[in-house]
Amino acid sequence: MEVVQQKKGKSKLKRWQKVSLVGLGIFIVLIISMFIFVNGYINRNLPQIEGKASLPGLSESVEVIRDDEGVPHIKANTERDLFMAQGYIQAQDRLFQMDMARRQASGRLSEVAGEVALERDKYFRTLGLRRAAEKSYQTYSEEAKQVMEWYAAGVNGFIDQAKSSNSLPIEFTLMGGKPEKWTPIDSLTIGKYMAFDLGGHWERQAFNYFLLQNLPEEKAYELFPTYPKNAPTIMKEEEINVSSLLKEAVLPHPFNGSNNWVVSGNKTSSGKPLLADDPHLGLATPSIWYQMHLSSPDYEVSGVIFAGIPGIILGHNENIAWGVTNTGPDVQQLYLEKRNPDNPNEFLFESDYEEATVINEEIKVKNGDNVNYEVIETRHGPLISEFAKKSGKETALSLRWTALDASTELEAILEINQASNWEEFEKGLEKFLVPAQNFVFASKNGTIAYKANGKIPIYEDGSDALLPLEGWEQENEWQKFIPFDELPTIINPEKGFIATANNKVVGDEYPYHISNNWAQPYRYQRIEEVLHERNKLTTDDMKNLQMDQKDLRAQEFVPIFLEHVDEQAVNDYGAKALQLLRKWNYVDDVDAPEPLIFNKWMKTFTDRLYEKQIPEGMMGFFKGSGQTTDELIRKASSGKNVTWIEEQGGLPKALALSLNETITDLIDENGKEITSWEWGDFHKVEFTHPLSSVAFLDRFFNPKDPKPVGGSKVTVMAASYDYSEGIVDHGASWRFVADLNNLLSASHLVGPGQSGHFRSKWYHSQRDNWVNGGYHETKTKGYEGEKLMLQPE
């Protein structure tokens, strides 16, 4: 009986094992099938880059060749077909990015992201970038409107095809929803967002006002912006309780800057000008820039553009090349507004109350109820304090900003794309109003030039731009703007080069105020130093300079720190760190310990100065804090009394305490062997995708590991980073070098790559080159690659 039961038991076990194996097999087949399905679905979203595709509305076939780096070369027989194809091709590679960009700028992220994006949407509805775009559209010429319509038709042609074939980018499936039709207003709204991203100065006005409200006057004024007295300018004399009100504001990154320079043929090996440009913006996937080459009988231009906009904003054509950096003028003004206690929508001006404009905005929220939101605009602009839910206060803050006026930047882009000399180029710049930019220019005929271009208000006294003004006083109104012909301009200077790096543009001899806040001068000083010393310059020299990691801030302040630090108060490991710094060559090398020690020391010193007296939420408004801190240290090291430093026990003690704290933290993170520390162990670049923070998606959308990288925020090879984690999130979003001796090609780098699709071979194909200084040559003649023919339906 026992034997029979054992046999039955063994039989059941075998049957269970058999069933289990069958079940496991079915499970494996299901997993494989699901993988194949998902893989096939994802691959179906990849752009078609070969063969033939139809695009309704084309009059003739259009050739699209993608070269080795995925740069599309579009060749059409008419401008209509050219811009339709540009819209279609951009949408192939970047549709999700385009859709998110117009949503963010329009205040419509909540529709796909839910309540988490509601406060951001309220802020952008309050600013009214889309309302400004709608006003701007009315001022465009019929020819420019037609270009925008052609471009939108191309985008919509792709959207329709992707919807019908169920091949929209995978991000739409993950977020939910589908893209709406593209319109010219969408393109202009994205342009207005770039004016926002490149910032203004209202944050610093709010910060200064906070200081005066909460600190002794003398101490507050110590943090007001100044600029190093001996720092060079682009143009020499001979060449011509705010913290609570604004706590929810969305602030642009403080490091949005750039480098550019142009060298005359007198200093180059070829005898023709060289031009270099590397705009510093957010580093993410996909890149903010999209590189293209556009060709038709009357249109030949190559360079980059923001996804969602037609034309080429930076680059070259057959005769000229150009680049930009951010000028950073005072183009935003906060106004204190007095509300009528009997009518909350009326505000005092002179002796009368004026009715404000009330705009009712309905914000749709995914998985939530719609939100009815009220925006109030005074004569100056939107009430941004209302965003912080402080309505009902007698005094509110409104924002006057040039970008909220009608402007015609796209019209300017289309004109400068076809310019053949400086006169035609400068004529096109008259229509480029916001954001104000430092344009450098070079032409085949040898001309090099510069213009600080844009709509810049005239302040009778530059100090007026430091604080909010009383909105009820007529004398505080903006009356005029700097005349176009009087904007800072240089043509063919004797020194043979022009460079800009967001530094101070003009000296005191210039009759108009431009800004109180300039970037620290170190990048410009290094560029000027190299260009001044060298002749027979080549494109390789320009590339090397774009990757230069000499840290002039460290070169200035390490000797000051070494001279003044109280070494008796420094611990043993701190003493070893000082020994390393004494021998440092001031290069922010990825493998060196000194950049790690110095940059962390400077950050710790800065934190100790401000953390107890400036609320964390207000530090984001402290625009130009690095420049201010530098000035405090300079003054203290020269023997002047600086309250902020004296409260830390004086410069020697403050330096010693902050060094000890720095070294303790670094030992915890990197161990006790100081000489083995490396800047790149902390300072790394990743290029994160906006959806990579969701669950497991980072393994698909982000590269496997961040890459160690040299440089810093003050080196020419700009690499600004998140101080808590060391991730480099701002820097050269595009690098460009053009030799005017041969404009049939130019050197480019778009980090991290051209494509927005994570399965594309061009998704992160330029990431290593971004770190190491690699470039690719983009030809405008004789290029080869995969060919797609767009054909009329």
For 77-95, the pLDDT digits (tens) are 999 999 999 999 999 999 9
Give pLDDT, residue 728.
96
Give pLDDT, residue 238.
41
How far is it, in rounded angstroms, from Cα 384 to Cα 67? 47
For 178-220, the pLDDT digits (tens) are 999 999 999 999 999 999 988 767 888 888 988 998 899 999 9
How far is it, in rounded angstroms, from Cα 151 to Cα 169? 20
Structure tokens at 293: 């080459």
Give pLDDT, residue 231.
57
**Contact of 716 with 503, CB cutoff 8 Å:** no
**Contact of 781 with 67, CB cutoff 8 Å:** no
Residue 63 CA: distances (Å) to CA of 86, 146, 183, 788: 11, 22, 24, 6
Catalytic residue, from 258, 296, 443, 755: name it. 258
Q: Is the pTM of this model over 0.85?
A: yes
H or E element at residue 357: strand 357-363
Burial (CB count <10 Å: 0-12, 13-18, 19+), residue 567: middle
Q: 114 in the Ramachandran plot: left (φ > 0), alpha (ψ -120 to 50) or beta?
A: left
* Beta pairing, strands 289-296 & 320-326: unpaired
Burial code (b: 16+ CB inside 10 Å, e: under 16) for 13-23 equals eeeeeeeeeee
Give pLDDT, residue 537.
98
Closest C-alpha among 262, 273, 260 to residue 319: 273
H or E element at residue 153: helix 142-164
Give pLDDT, residue 395.
67
How far is it, in rounded angstroms, from Cα 789 to Cα 783? 16
Averaged pLDDT for residues 440-452: 98
Instruction: Read off the DSSP letter of residue 284.
Output: B
258 part of the active site: yes
Instruction: Read off the DSSP letter of residue 570.
Output: S
Q: Tell whether the model's pLDDT for residue 388 goes beyond 50.
A: no
Per-residue confidence band for 460, with pLDDT thresholds at 50, 70 and 90 = confident
Instruction: Read off the DSSP letter of residue 434.
Output: S
Give pLDDT, residue 203.
84
How far is it, in rounded angstroms, from Cα 201 to Cα 345? 27
Q: What is the DSSP string of 43-89?
A: HHTSPP-SEEEE-TT-SS-EEEEE-TT--EEEE-SSHHHHHHHHHHH
How far is it, in rounded angstroms, from Cα 170 to Cα 43? 10
Cα 314 vs. chain centroid, distance in angstroms? 15
Cα 169 vs. chain centroid, distance in angstroms? 24
Give pLDDT, residue 40.
53
Averaged pLDDT for residues 618-636: 91
Q: What percent of the chain has pLDDT over 90?
A: 79
Looking up tokens 């309050």, which residue turns up? 126
Residue 213 CA: distances (Å) to CA of 193, 210, 224, 356: 32, 5, 14, 28
Give pLDDT, residue 252.
62
Q: Name which residue leads in pLDDT, 53 or 11.
A: 53
Q: What is the mean pLDDT of the chain?
A: 90
Q: How many helices (H) and strands (E) does the chain have?
A: 25, 28
Looking up tokens 């090099």, which residue turns up? 448
How far is it, in rounded angstroms, from Cα 696 to Cα 698? 6
